[in-house]
């Protein structure tokens, strides 16, 4: 955990480019493997630390990723499974080099021991792919879009008359991309990479603050259309819906803005690899069939974490939600726990797309009473109510915790707290 920022060392990226140039021959591949492994120095580091065994308990981060790749659970990672990971991350260009790093003796597979020793190479491929997907993509959240959630989260503003809110209170930024230019310093580039929060397999437990909770949400991917003069956002065009974990710190001394509790660096958010394609979120469209649910596995016990929440029950939804988000982007002021949004878009050089976390559901009694602990696992899912009118069965949920492929009509995110 204390070394994860180093995986973005630009020297490693440079060595990777050298390794790709060498991979055209078998000899070159062996040289590439040695070049990158030597630079990373993982084997030396583990040997110096006296590590002789590699288990789920001793290496929870590595195991969380391993379990997603070892599809048949046989304890071996084949070259085909390595290539499959690269394909899913749109990183097939790195597959040949990664195969040679993980399987230098051409056995056709690698074991967990060797996987751990070379884990930074795996991280580099996955993280680079994520950044490519989020290049020119903004991260925005809608606060309080489910009645009762803000009160459960301890963030509610209580009106004098006690009336329930009719609109969400505000939006907040959880990730703002900064364009990489030739004038940017190495420190500036590394800071941007370190603050990128989205992962697929793990959540890094924050080093400061406490009372950490999963915020299970639907993530909506939209194209951003700006006005011709570039002085405002004109509209958002919805494209995809994913399962999103807007993980949050509830207790953070000195915090004044909600966004400060939302991004504590690498591994503080999660999004599913698969998504539902949408052309609209208008009333009566496919999104009205979608429902959100979440579960926590602690030890061997699986607990329902949030109450199933149909998208149509959001406080604000459909086209009205998109119009309201555009208005908040353009007009929200820096006040209380909220911040301006459009000036940050300008600083990010007009991102072309945005992932919007639409709002978290209400917690179950267990979810209210239990904050997250290291080694807890979470599943956030979005499912089609027409396929699962009573929600997915428990055996499907168990399978998702084992990283089985989600069945038709379900998209899911499985993460481990490390």
Does residue 120 sit in the same domain as residue 236? no
pLDDT in tens, 204-229: 988 888 899 999 999 999 999 999 99
Does residue 122 sit in the same domain as residue 178? no
Does residue 122 sit in the same domain as residue 161? no
Does residue 278 sit in the same domain as residue 172? yes
pLDDT in tens, 166-182: 899 999 999 998 776 66
Q: What is the model's pLDDT at position 43? A: 44
- Give the pLDDT band (50/70/90) at residue 51: low
Does residue 14 sit in the same domain as residue 124? yes
**H or E element, residue 95:** helix 95-102
- Last residue within a domain, chosen from 97, 129, 161: 129
CA–CA separation, 217 and 224 (whole Å)? 21
Does residue 69 sit in the same domain as residue 159? no
- Determine contact, residues 358/287, Cβ cutoff 8 Å: no
Q: Is the pLDDT of residue 161 over 60?
A: no
- Give the pLDDT band (50/70/90) at residue 163: low
- Last residue within a domain, chosen from 96, 112, 129: 129
Instruction: Report the CATH number at residue 8.
Output: 1.10.238
142: helix, coil or strand?
Answer: strand
Does residue 34 sit in the same domain as residue 161? no
Q: What is the model's pLDDT at position 216? A: 96
Number of domains in the chain: 2
Q: What is the model's pLDDT at position 30? A: 43
CA–CA separation, 88 and 274 (whole Å)? 9
Does residue 161 sit in the same domain as residue 271? yes
Q: Which residue range is the domain that position 84 belongs to?
A: 4-129
Percent of the chain with pLDDT over 90: 69
Short-list 206, 130, 178, 220, CA closest to 348: 178
- Last residue within a domain, chosen from 84, 113, 129: 129
Q: Is the pLDDT of residue 41 over 50?
A: no
Pairwise pLDDT comparison (48 vs 3), residue with the higher score: 48
Instruction: Report the CATH number at residue 314.
Output: 3.90.850.10
pLDDT in tens, 256-293: 788 788 888 889 999 999 999 999 999 999 999 999 99
Task: Kindly tell me the sign of the dihedral angle through the C-alpha atoms of 231, 233, 235, 236.
Answer: positive
Does residue 52 sit in the same domain as residue 175? no
pTM, two decimal places: 0.82
CA–CA separation, 344 and 236 (whole Å)? 17
Does residue 286 sit in the same domain as residue 147? yes
Q: Is the pLDDT of residue 125 over 90?
A: yes
Does residue 173 sit in the same domain as residue 305? yes
Does residue 228 sit in the same domain as residue 339? yes
pLDDT in tens, 358-398: 999 899 999 999 999 999 999 999 999 999 999 999 999 99
């Amino acid at each position: 955990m204390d070394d994860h920022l180093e995986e973005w060392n630009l020297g490693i990226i440079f060595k990777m480019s050298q390794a790709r140039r060498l991979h055209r021959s078998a000899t070159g591949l062996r040289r590439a493997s040695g070049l990158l492994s030597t630079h990373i120095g993982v084997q030396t580091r583990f040997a110096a630390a006296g590590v002789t065994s590699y288990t789920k308990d001793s290496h929870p981060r590595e195991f969380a990723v391993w379990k997603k790749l070892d599809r048949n659970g046989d304890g071996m990672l084949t070259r085909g499974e390595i290539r499959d990971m690269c394909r899913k991350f749109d990183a097939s260009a790195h597959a040949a080099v990664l195969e040679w790093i993980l399987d230098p003796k051409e056995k056709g597979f690698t074991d967990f021991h060797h996987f751990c020793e070379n884990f930074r190479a795996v991280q580099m491929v996955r993280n680079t792919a994520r950044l490519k997907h989020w290049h020119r993509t903004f991260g925005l959240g809608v606060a309080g879009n489910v009645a009762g959630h803000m009160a459960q989260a301890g963030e509610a503003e209580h009106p004098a008359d006690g009336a329930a809110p009719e609109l969400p209170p505000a939006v907040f930024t959880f990730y703002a991309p900064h364009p990489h230019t030739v004038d940017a310093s190495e420190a500036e580039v590394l800071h941007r990479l370190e603050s990128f929060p989205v992962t697929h397999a793990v959540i890094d437990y924050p080093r400061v603050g406490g009372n950490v909770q999963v915020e299970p949400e639907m993530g909506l991917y939209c194209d951003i259309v700006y006005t011709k003069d570039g002085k405002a956002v004109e509209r958002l065009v919805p494209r995809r819906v994913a399962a999103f974990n807007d993980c949050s710190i509830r207790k953070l001394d000195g915090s004044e803005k909600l966004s400060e509790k939302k991004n504590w660096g690498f591994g503080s958010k999660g999004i599913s690899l698969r998504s539902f394609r949408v052309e609209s979120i208008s009333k009566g469209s496919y999104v009205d069939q979608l429902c959100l649910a979440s579960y926590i596995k602690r030890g061997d016990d699986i607990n329902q974490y949030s109450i199933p929440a149909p998208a149509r029950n959001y406080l604000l939804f459909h086209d009205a939600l998109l119009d309201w988000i555009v208005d908040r982007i353009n007009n929200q002021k820096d006040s209380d726990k909220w911040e301006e949004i459009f000036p940050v878009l300008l600083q990010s050089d007009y991102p072309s797309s945005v992932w919007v976390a639409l709002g978290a559901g209400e917690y179950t009694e267990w979810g209210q009473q239990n904050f997250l602990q290291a080694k807890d696992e979470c599943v956030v899912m979005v499912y089609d109510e027409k396929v699962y009118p009573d929600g997915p069965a428990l055996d499907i949920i168990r399978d998702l915790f084992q990283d089985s492929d989600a069945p038709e009509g379900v998209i899911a995110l499985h993460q481990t707290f490390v």
